[in-house]
Amino acid sequence: MAFAGDSSRRKFFKRAGVAAGSALLTANQIWAAEHGENLPPNIPSWMQQTGTGVGAAPYGSPSEYEKDAIRRTVPWLTATPISSVSFSPLQSLQGIITPSSLHFERHHSGIPNIDPEEHRLMIHGLCGNPLVLTMDDLVRFPSVSEIRFIECPANGGMEWRGPQMEALQFTHGMISCSEWTGVRLSTLLAEVGVDPKAKWVLAEGADGAAMARSIPLDKALNDVIVAYAQNGERIRPEQGYPLRLVNPGWEGNTSIKWLRRLELGEKPWHLREETSKYTDLMPDGRARRFTWVQETNSVVTSVCPENSLKSRGYHELEGVAWSGRGKIKQVDISFDGGFSWKEAKLKGLVLDKALTRFSLDWSWDGSPALIQSRAIDDTGYVQPTLAQLREVRGVNSIYHKNSIHTWQVLATGEVKNVQNT
């Protein structure tokens, strides 16, 4: 077993150009130089004074040493930041909750600055009692709090034809998971009295894009939340302040942010976001539409291009899995590109339509490996291989690429994004 001190000592002597054991340095000087003034048994500088008092940060922020855990954009994807995406740093996150500050963002016309006092939710169309609700009205309804993921169906979409993004943040960072609090859409629909002829609900946002999607009434009455809070506080502007739809397990695009209008109708509206976008071109030239559910998916996060292996021996391999259909039932890990599999352990909470963390004890012997994870949900759906997915879908799609992902571990410990079909 090599101790961290051994290599830092070597590094110090190299930098200082001093041979180990040089008589010019006293034992104490060597100790301090080797270990740093703040390391045991010294009293670190931050113990030799008082710290910052309460109230200095009325709204807290992360430690200044955690500058790497940030949302990132891909320059060539971001022709203009008002219609683009920022990715969540999955490589730096733990557990299943995404800190609100690190939730991925996807805006079609920027983030509107909405005064909640002047914001209204209008519910109209085929119903007996159309309503215009204030935020105060909405908060008076009985509420629910549920942990759900939101994923853009374009997650992974850059990789249909080959590996392109040399970072987990960009191959999978369009998923995040929060505790959402709000009113069930079914509660609000009961209040307006849905006409039996109504089969669809249109949800429209109050952004410059007036982004809107048609949602079948069955889903609207099932588990959809009209949410005003995220992880305990009011929803962040990026996520739809003061009100958004959370459409569990479905394409993130249907979780309309800055929600201002719900209309009940007989037929879908066939808007831009469900015709020219969020549809997939099949090999025969026809397009799939209304591909609502985010299929079972998973990825290893503790070993990835951003998290290279720094030493041999024990590693707790971790990752996240999710299914828009329900709960994750099982995750298997392969180290040989899918020839053999070991069952991982599901860690912590295993919830419906939420990120689920998995882990596996692993001892890295320094040899190259092809690491994959394969998730199975409680409907029995098994995450497909890339070859299986391409066989059905071809390579002309943007959306719904949920195939098994491969990380190549090199003997140096570096990790590459590769495709192993």
Ligand X SMILES: Nc1nc2c(c(=O)[nH]1)N[C@H]1C(S)=C(S)[C@@H](COP(=O)(O)O)O[C@H]1N2
Identify the residue among 71, 106, 148, 357 touching ligand X (CB under 6 A): 106
Identify the residue among 125, 173, 242, 252 touching ligand X (CB under 6 A): 252
Contact flags string 127-156 toward ligand X, x per CB under 6 A = -----------------------x-x----
| CB hemisphere CA count around 363 (13 angstroms) | 2
Determine the length of the chain.
421
DSSP-derived letter for residue 383 is P
Answer for the pair 298, 322: CB distance below 8 angstroms, yes or no. Answer: yes
Identify the residue among 252, 268, 319, 338 touching Mo ion (CB under 5 A): 252
- CA proximity to 202, closest of 245, 238, 237: 245
Answer for the pair 257, 239: CB distance below 8 angstroms, yes or no. Answer: yes
We find the least distance from the C-beta atom of residue 354 to Mo ion, in angstroms, to be 19
Q: Does 104 bind ligand X (CB under 6 A)?
A: yes
The interface region with ligand X, picked from 3-11, 24-32, 251-259, 350-358 by CB under 6 A, is: 251-259
Answer for the pair 218, 183: CB distance below 8 angstroms, yes or no. Answer: no
Count of residues binding ligand X (CB under 6 A)?
A: 21
Identify the residue among 257, 261, 329, 374 touching ligand X (CB under 6 A): 257
We find the least distance from the C-beta atom of residue 251 to ligand X, in angstroms, to be 7
CA–CA gap between residue 26 and residue 20 (Å, rounded): 12
Q: Which does 150 bind (CB under 5 to 8 A by kind): Mo ion, ligand X, none?
A: ligand X
Q: Does 257 bind Mo ion (CB under 5 A)?
A: no
Q: Which does 209 bind (CB under 5 to 8 A by kind): Mo ion, ligand X, none?
A: ligand X
Which residue's beta carbon is nearest to the bound ligand X? 205
Q: For ligand X, give the closer residue by CB, 249 or 338.
A: 249
Who contacts 401 (Cβ-Cβ below 8 Å, separation ≥6)? 155, 156, 157, 159, 160, 389
Q: Which does 319 bind (CB under 5 to 8 A by kind): ligand X, Mo ion, none?
A: none
Q: Which pair of structure tokens corresponds to residue 133?
A: 């609700």
Beta-strand pair 212-216/200-205: antiparallel
Distances (CA, A) of 262 to 213, 302, 392: 10, 41, 35
Pick out residues in 159-218 that bind ligand X (CB under 6 A): 176, 205, 207, 209, 211
Distances (CA, A) of 358 to 311, 361, 362, 382, 406: 22, 11, 13, 16, 16
Q: Does 71 bind Mo ion (CB under 5 A)?
A: no
Q: Which pair of structure tokens corresponds to residue 379?
A: 């409907």
CA–CA gap between residue 170 and residue 413 (Å, rounded): 20
Q: Which pair of structure tokens corresponds to residue 54?
A: 């309460």
Q: For ligand X, give the closer residue by CB, 258 or 381.
A: 258
We find the least distance from the C-beta atom of residue 165 to ligand X, in angstroms, to be 17
**By 3-state DSSP, what share of the chain in percent is helix, strand and coil, each rounded to 5?**
20, 30, 50
Helix segments in 182-278, DSSP class H:
185-192, 217-222
We find the least distance from the C-beta atom of residue 174 to ligand X, in angstroms, to be 7
Q: For Mo ion, give the closer residue by CB, 291 or 420.
A: 291
The interface region with Mo ion, picked from 108-116, 160-168, 244-252, 308-316 by CB under 5 A, is: 244-252
Q: Beta-strand (E) ranges in 26-174?
A: 84-86, 105-107, 121-125, 131-133, 144-151
Q: Does 152 bind Mo ion (CB under 5 A)?
A: yes
Q: For ligand X, give the closer residue by CB, 156 or 205.
A: 205
Chain residues binding ligand X by CB under 6 A are 103-108, 150, 152, 176, 205, 207, 209, 211, 238-239, 252-253, 255-258
Chain residues binding Mo ion by CB under 5 A are 106, 152, 252-253
